[in-house]
């Protein structure tokens, strides 16, 4: 648009500020290429306000907060995904399809299913099994193996080792049930799965579909086999370690 002001022609540029997708109300360029994905939107807010430099909120639709800032100078975003694979699927599809997100790390909690895994342990997820019908709908009677990006896993592994935290690299199972009367976890445990959660398989599958990089990092919040839950204070410390591990992995990838 142009108009004439005191004899001079003035150009007014119209920036595209409208939202680009249904569930994320952010303009083009408001979301960084690297993103952390907690299930809980209040965790997204906490991560941005605690760890980011200059955090700015880009999404409040349905209370599913999204923020962008920098961490150690690297642009990074954090977006709540809600609980369960269908909810995560909505947000991650929009992030990949409309906002050009390239690297996504889910940060969440899981329940442990074997005696070698303890409460508060960190799990770097290299693959995710699932009992969800989302995989059936995509693959029918074929069996896809949702797999994390190897470089992300390798980088997180070396950072976790340097941090000196208790951690394992392995698979989780993304269940559609939190309250699972079938006790599917017993079968997963027999096959070496380390923890049960509800979102990672869909994230890794979408990353494959859109040719992006993804991984998940979990802390063990409850022990399904042995019983017991972490206290709020313990959850805070392990949560902080997990977020630092995820953010330092992103920084290392951007060097
Ligand atoms: N089951 C499913 N999801 C979970 C659990 C669990 O025990 N703990 C944390 N997320």
Q: How far apart are CA 49 and CA 67, in angstroms?
A: 9
- Please compute the mean of the pLDDT values over residues 90-118 and round it to a whole number: 98
- CA proximity to 238, closest of 214, 213, 216, 221: 221
Q: How far is ligand 1, taken at its centre, from the CA of residue 112, in Å? A: 8
Nearest CA, atom 10, ligand 1 = 110
Q: Tokens for 32?
A: 């960084």
Q: Binning pLDDT at 50, 70 and 90, where does residue 11 land?
A: very low
Is the CB of 198 inside a 6 Å radius of any atom of ligand 1?
yes
Summary mean pLDDT of the chain: 93
- Ligand 1, atom 6: nearest CA belongs to which residue? 111
Question: Which residue's alpha carbon is at the smallest distance from atom 7 of ligand 1?
Answer: 111
**Would you tell me how many other CB atoms lie within 10 Å of the CB of residue 14?**
6
pLDDT of residue 1: 41
Give the model's confidence band at 105: pLDDT under 50 very low, under 70 low, under 90 confident, else very high: very high
- Read off the pLDDT of residues 215-238 as tens digits, 9 standing for 90 and up: 999 999 999 999 999 988 888 889
Q: Is the pTM of this model over 0.85?
A: yes
Domains of the chain and any CATH numbers: 92-253 (3.40.50.1580)
First to last CA, the chain: 41
Return the biggest CA–CA distance within the chain: 80
What's the rounded Cα separation, in Å, for the pair 168 and 120?
Answer: 12
Q: Which atom of ligand 1 is nearest to the CA of 197?
A: 3
Q: Which one is predicted more confidently, 232 or 13? A: 232
Q: Is 149 a catalytic residue?
A: no
Check if 197 has its Cβ closer than 6 Å to any atom of ligand 1.
yes
- The residue whose CA is least distant from atom 4 of ligand 1 is 197
Which of 43, 123, 183, 197 is the best mutation target for the ligand 1 pocket, counting ligand atoms within 8 Å of the beta carbon and taking the most?
197
5 burial (CB, 10 Å; 0-12 / 13-18 / 19+) is exposed
């Amino acid at each position: 648009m142009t108009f004439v002001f005191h004899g001079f022609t003035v150009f007014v540029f119209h920036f595209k500020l409208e939202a680009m997708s249904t569930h994320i109300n952010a303009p083009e360029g408001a979301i960084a290429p690297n993103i952390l994905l907690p299930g809980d939107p209040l965790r997204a807010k906490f991560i941005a306000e605690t760890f980011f430099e200059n955090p700015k909120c880009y999404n409040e639709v349905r209370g599913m907060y999204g923020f962008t800032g920098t961490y150690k100078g690297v642009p990074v975003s954090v977006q709540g995904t809600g609980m369960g694979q269908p909810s995560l699927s909505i947000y991650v599809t929009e992030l990949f399809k409309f906002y050009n997100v390239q690297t996504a790390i889910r940060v969440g909690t899981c329940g442990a299913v074997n005696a070698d895994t303890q409460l508060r342990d960190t799990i770097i997820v290299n693959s995710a099994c699932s009992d969800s019908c989302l995989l059936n709908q995509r693959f029918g009677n074929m069996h896809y193996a949702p797999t994390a990006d190897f470089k992300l896993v390798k980088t997180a592994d070396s950072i976790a080792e340097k941090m000196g935290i208790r951690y394992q690299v392995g698979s989780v199972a993304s269940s559609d049930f939190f309250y699972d009367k079938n006790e599917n976890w017993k079968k997963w445990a027999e096959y070496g799965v380390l923890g049960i959660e509800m979102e990672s398989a869909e994230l890794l599958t979408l990353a494959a579909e859109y040719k992006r990089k993804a991984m998940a990092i979990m802390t063990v919040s409850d022990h399904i086999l042995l019983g017991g839950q972490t206290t709020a204070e313990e959850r805070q410390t392990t949560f902080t370690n997990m977020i630092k591990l995820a953010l330092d992995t992103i920084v290392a990838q951007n060097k």
